[in-house]
Amino acid sequence: MINVAVVGLGHWGPNLARNIAALPDAHLYALCDIRTDRLEHVGRQYPAAKRQADFDAVLRDPDVDAVIIATPVHTHFELAFAALRAGKHVLVEKPLAQTNAQCQELISLSKKNGRILMVGHVFLYNAAVRKVKEYIQSGELGQIYYIYSQRLNLGIIRQDLNALWNFGPHDFSILCYWLDALPERVLARGYSYIQPGIEDVVFVTLDFPNGVGASVHISWLDPNKVRRMTVVGSKKMVVYDDISADAKIVVYDRGVMKKPDDGLSLGRYESFGEFQLLLRAGDVLIPKLDFVEPLKVECQHFVRCVLTGTPPLTDGYNGLRVVRILEMAQRAMHRA
């Protein structure tokens, strides 16, 4: 059993508190927020948890084993560094920090103090995302040609960071997980329509090894909420739709076949182009998924890693890779 403190009780912190409180191997020991109204509101749901407005007091408490940080992005590095220095295990919401250098400092400190450092890339604990990785790894999709993603919404419009840093960590963490690689080149264009200097619409192109292309469209200024990723392979194609209630994954047995030029078969086709390339349309499959709330799986994983000392799936290096891509995209937007 470990004692966990959840720091930051805004939009996401209460969800983390709810999941930690429900785990048999964890105790929601403390809630922390500088806003007393949020502290009181969330605290009423967990009367056994200590309420603490002072983060330093949480770190001084010897009974706190682990800290979950769900505060604004610009505070992630400072709070995570202080928690690791105090000997606490740490789970930080995405992104891990604001720079490559900050991520490396957190990784070094966690290793030095022998503490777990984990980042909340929650989609890597999503059953649908994991199923798509199985399809890719098994070769069922064939050679992966390209992947494109749409993560769109009308709001919530942030003032502390742009749409790239708000939504991008989800898509970039999934892409790196699926392809087991980092992009070799990142191009990006961003557009600021609502607030000067804060991009609310971003288009990112990523070149991965082996010629795999990826495109990510991010916006919080769109008429519809869309959370969809499409993987196109030489044998099959997969659409992952996180919004869908009953068809989160659809596998299409479709593609383009190249016919061998044996010099004998041309008469069966109407044109030479049709002879060379044939469209193939097969079955459409909606696989059954044993879907569990990804945040619950993430919290279970964090607790298990703390208890066993096992490195997390989304460890500090995982967070570092995503921040590097974010930095590459941000620089590309400024050059454009």
According to CATH, the superfamily of the domain at 2-121+294-314 is: NAD(P)-binding Rossmann-like Domain (3.40.50.720)
Backbone φ, ψ for residue 251 (5° rounding): -105, 125
Strand, helix or coil for residue 216: strand
pLDDT exceeds cutoff 60 at 275? no
Work out the pLDDT band at 3, boundaries 50, 70, 90. very high
10-53 pLDDT tens trace: 989 999 999 999 999 999 999 999 999 999 999 999 999 999 99
pLDDT top residue among 160 and 73? 73
143-178 pLDDT tens trace: 999 999 999 999 888 888 999 999 999 999 999 999
Query: Which residues partner with 31 through β-bridges?
Result: 6, 51
According to CATH, the superfamily of the domain at 124-292+326-335 is: Dihydrodipicolinate Reductase; domain 2 (3.30.360.10)
C-alpha to C-alpha distance for 275 and 180, rounded to whole angstroms: 36
Give domain limits for the chain: 2-121+294-314, 124-292+326-335
* Amino acid letter for position 59: L
Supply 261's token pair.
Answer: 């030029």
Give the least confident one: 26-30, 193-197, 257-261: 257-261
What radius of gyration do the chain's Cα atoms show? 23
Cβ pair 205, 214 in contact under 8 A: yes
**DSSP per-residue string spanning 20-79:** HHT-TTEEEEEEE-S-HHHHHHHHTT-TTSEEES-HHHHHH-TT--EEEE-S-GGGHHHH
